[in-house]
Structure 1
Amino acid sequence: MTLPKPEDLIIHSLGECRFPSPLQLGAASGEYHGEFMSDAAKVRFHVELERLEGRPDDLFFERAGPRERLFFDPSKVKAAIVTCGGLCPGINNVIRSVFLSLKYNYGVPEVYGIRYGYRGLNPAYGDGFIRLTHEMVENIHLHGGTFLGSSRGPQPVEVMLDTLADRGIDMLFCVGGDGTQRGADALAQAARRRNLPLAVVGIPKTIDNDIPYVFRSFGYGTAVEKAREVIAGAHAEAKGAPNGIVIVKLMGRNAGFIAAGATTASQEVNFAFIPELPFDLDPPNGFLAHLEKRVLQRGHAVIVVAEGAGQHLFGDLPVERDASGNIKHHDIGTYLRDRIIAHFRERRIEANVKYIDPSYLIRSVPANCDDAQLSDRFARYAVHAAMAGKTDLLIGYWHGLFVHVPMHLVTSQKKHLSPKSSMWLSVLAATGQPVLMVNEPVPETTAS
């Protein structure tokens, strides 16, 4: 991860906070009430002392929380919520908690939902606004998906900003991953150029858990939990047939957090592959040789592979992109299946190979208890930030605390699973797989 400079962590503000907060909190410690958060409250970037050697130790995030003085008069605010990109457990929890916090904690009279992502802000697709009510959102947290709908791909920034201005929207909550936050950043910058007092606050959403400065995004825990259930079935299938081999492909376009998390939670996986580590298939040290040895010794094997793993194996096939600009990865799951079948057939070894792809199932379920709590906290911290006139920021989760992260930092890089991390070392310990399955030395990767 690229080390930011102190000036990179400064949060944009719309101006002077002239209105008192309606929240029943204190300015100092009290026995029976919470406290307002001061802008002076910071969270240190580095917490490990050895990490500070030769590095600046004066890097701090602004801590998130309710402010005593607000930029907006709550009684006159119009707010909107938009959800973009792929589904993720907990989106409906976020929508509901943003609405409840605005309506009942701050007394905001008008809260709108934007239908089908950023396209709902483009009049070319019709009127994308619906005014939210308590009855609409009362039970949405019990269901997966997004009550508002979603879409991929950008829309013209000036058109979206015109729509928000015409509607008199004061604050926009953008729930999504890196593509969504790039759009949010562009909206916030365009609003500044026009001197429009629009607060744009991002809420991180990705089951891939690859948003920087967010230790864990909501939905990741639920996805891992559901993936573990799939792996349990895969293990039963593998053991239920002679030389049974089952491949489970999980989401993880650029980062292997789901594959690693599900592997360590399951403890029944024998090989795990992530985008951050290369691997070969052919002998002497390629995966197929190790798989053959495992099957001959133990009679079965379970393989977990992230969707972005092994893309180097497809050679010079043409590159395609989705509506968000992301590279469409080739199907590593079916590729591995076919290569495994061919290998064992060539070696005249019986093998019963099965392939499971639960990708769209694990992301469309309701949030579990842990993610429900995390979703609620992300949502409420986002509302506190917007009411105080803070803009062009994402609510981050850093060393167990919620912080304000400038949007440009979020969109400048992705978070990856380091092969040096304790998480990947746990995967190696749980699977027993070799550290590297390559036939030629590879350059050492850097932690991020």
Structure 2
Amino acid sequence: MGKFQIESLGMPHYKSPLKLSTVKGDNIFDFVSDADRLVFDQSMEYYNHCLKTGEAPLCLEKAGPRQDIFFDAQNTTAAIVTCGGLCPGINNVIRGVVMGLHYFYGVKKILGIPYGYEGLNPEKGHGFVELTPDKVKDIHQFGGTFLGSSRGSQDVSKMVDTLQANNIDILFAIGGDGTLKGVDAIGQEIKKRNAKISVVGIPKTIDNDIDLIDESFGFETAFDVASPILRDAHNEATGAFNGISIVKLMGRDSGFIAASAALSMPVVNFVLVPEMDFSLEGEKGFLKALEQRLELKRHAVIVVAEGAGQHLFQEKSGVKDASGNVKHKDIGLFLKEKIGEHFKGSSVTIKYIDPSYIIRSAPANSSDSVYCSRLAYHAVHGAMAGKTRFVSSKVNNKYVYVPISEVTQKRKEIDMEGEFWFSVLQSTGQPFSWA
């Protein structure tokens, strides 16, 4: 198998019920073939490398409906589970999957698994929820998750037992890095048992830290909702002599929300993200830069990602959440305290704002809603064709299928030498480093 080869449950034996075309130029959308591939690395350097060496370029499988499908739709049972923290757009994806299965393929039995992977553990007693178009038709208007969520893993063998006991043919798992690793482990156990169950991941992480893919759903809404908060924080800062507003946003290991929010509402003067090393004290430290900013403009807006500055704490946090992630110490309150100490005796007003959970539970904006629906539809098409252990995603602005194992090898981070971060520095006017 090649690096980006998608696993299949077997040869498809059924004709798709979709009335699509195989002829170009007839104004009807064409079925997508497994041979339809898109080059992963589009750089001239890689192109020349392949020409010189004769290597076939690394390619991704194009997402979309196949002419031949693996499952007999009338006798197929699908299930949907949502795991991890809340994120805008989850309900849009649930709705899209249900509508796609029901109306595109005629799948009548669709189960909702309550409270994340806990719902696949019978000992928890959550049961299942039957999902119909009528039941989900309006859920996209609300934030959160219609099915409920939970963090943490469950026994993989028990979860697969539950899938088999309920004759579930397809499992759609909506979640981030931990969720995707979990559903891939479920897929491995299914393969060991030689069972014919497709597992599909739809990447959800508000931090936008899933590797390889362009963007996770919900991310755009997150910094969209954060933007007016930054505007109001700026109003607070300018409303006082030497006013300082500190806004803490999500971003455990990657600072994409903090950086993007600052770009979208360019009133921010400092952005601190987990990818950067910075010192507080000294002539080149952050506090000195803040001092100079106040002398010049008499106000400052600071945006800090939750995972930034953890190196500044004397004691490292050894506490982990249910998902196995290290619980970071509160950098926002720490900064407020240190800034207060630094300017002690001066006329400085500090306001600290943490809108994280308001942002997490917001409904998806229009752009994210479109993205969620398209991710859901492509996930449905891939699953019905018998593909498994893949994520429905967008790479190089094209919808593709990527093996789950490839997107979970590491977290995506801001490239501190990249143009995106340089844009942030140009917007804020902050130096390249405070080391």
Shorter-normalised TM range: over 0.9
Query: In structure 1, what is the equivalent of residue 192 of structure 2?
Result: 193
Secondary structure of 1:303's match?
strand
* Preserved CA contact (<8 Å) 2:317 2:326: no
Query: In structure 2, what is the equivalent of residue 411 of structure 1?
Result: 408
Query: In structure 2, what is the equivalent of residue 236 of structure 1?
Result: 235
TM-aligned CA deviation for residue 316 of structure 1: 3.0
Cα deviation code 1:31-59 (max 9, x no counterpart): 33111000001111111213556576610
Query: In structure 1, what is the equivalent of residue 176 of structure 2?
Result: 177
Secondary structure of 2:259's match?
helix
2:207 counterpart letter in structure 1: D
Cα deviation code 1:246-273 (max 9, x no counterpart): 0000000010100110010010000001
Q: 2:361, 2:420 → 1: CA distance?
A: 25
Indicate whether 1:427 and 2:417 are aligned. Answer: no
Residue in structure 2 matching 1:35, options 14, 19, 30? 30
Indicate whether 1:11 and 2:6 are aligned. Answer: yes
Query: In structure 1, what is the equivalent of residue 257 of structure 2?
Result: 258
Q: 2:42, 2:145 → 1: CA distance?
A: 36
Indicate whether 1:339 and 2:334 are aligned. Answer: no
TM-aligned CA deviation for residue 396 of structure 1: 2.1
Identity score, percent: 50
2:9 counterpart letter in structure 1: L
Q: 1:418, 1:292 → 2: CA distance?
A: 28
Instruction: Indicate the larger mover: 152-161 or 45-54.
Output: 45-54
TM-aligned CA deviation for residue 321 of structure 1: 0.5
Within 5 Å, give how 1:323-402 maps onto structure 2: 323-345=322-344, 348-402=345-399
Query: In structure 1, what is the equivalent of residue 95 of structure 2?
Result: 96
Secondary structure of 2:3's match?
helix
TM-aligned CA deviation for residue 423 of structure 1: 1.1
Query: In structure 1, what is the equivalent of residue 127 of structure 2?
Result: 128
Q: 1:30, 1:176 → 2: CA distance?
A: 38
Task: Call closer, same or farther: CA 1:52–1:316 in 2, change over 3 Å.
Answer: farther
Secondary structure of 2:352's match?
strand
TM-aligned CA deviation for residue 339 of structure 1: 0.2
Instruction: Indicate the larger mover: 194-203 or 49-58.
Output: 49-58
Task: Call closer, same or farther: CA 1:430–1:51 in 2, change over 3 Å.
Answer: farther
Unaligned runs of 5+ in 2: none
Q: 1:71, 1:154 → 2: CA distance?
A: 29
* Preserved CA contact (<8 Å) 2:317 2:327: no
* Preserved CA contact (<8 Å) 1:116 1:128: no
Taking structure 2 as the reference length, the TM-score comes to: 0.97
Cα deviation code 1:131-153 (max 9, x no counterpart): 11222101000000000000000
Query: In structure 1, what is the equivalent of residue 268 of structure 2?
Result: 269
TM-aligned CA deviation for residue 319 of structure 1: 1.2
Taking structure 1 as the reference length, the TM-score comes to: 0.95
Task: Call closer, same or farther: CA 1:38–1:414 in 2, change over 3 Å.
Answer: same
* Preserved CA contact (<8 Å) 2:272 2:308: yes
Q: 2:309, 2:190 → 1: CA distance?
A: 42
Cα deviation code 1:282-337 (max 9, x no counterpart): 01101000000100110000000000110100133341110000010110000000
* Preserved CA contact (<8 Å) 2:249 2:356: yes
Q: 1:372, 1:396 → 2: CA distance?
A: 15
Within 5 Å, give how 1:290-309 maps onto structure 2: 290-309=289-308
Secondary structure of 2:294's match?
helix
1:366 counterpart letter in structure 2: P
Query: In structure 2, what is the equivalent of residue 442 of structure 1?
Result: none
Q: 1:318, 1:109 → 2: CA distance?
A: 48
Q: 1:126, 1:428 → 2: CA distance?
A: 51
1:66 counterpart letter in structure 2: P
Indicate whether 1:22 and 2:21 are aligned. Answer: no
2:360 counterpart letter in structure 1: R
Q: 2:340, 2:295 → 1: CA distance?
A: 15
Aligned-CA RMSD value? 1.1
TM-aligned CA deviation for residue 395 of structure 1: 1.2
* Preserved CA contact (<8 Å) 2:254 2:413: yes
Unaligned runs of 5+ in 1: 1-5, 439-448
Secondary structure of 1:112's match?
strand
Q: 1:149, 1:304 → 2: CA distance?
A: 30
Task: Call closer, same or farther: CA 1:315–1:70 in 2, change over 3 Å.
Answer: same
Secondary structure of 2:2's match?
helix
Instruction: Indicate the larger mover: 381-390 or 6-15.
Output: 6-15
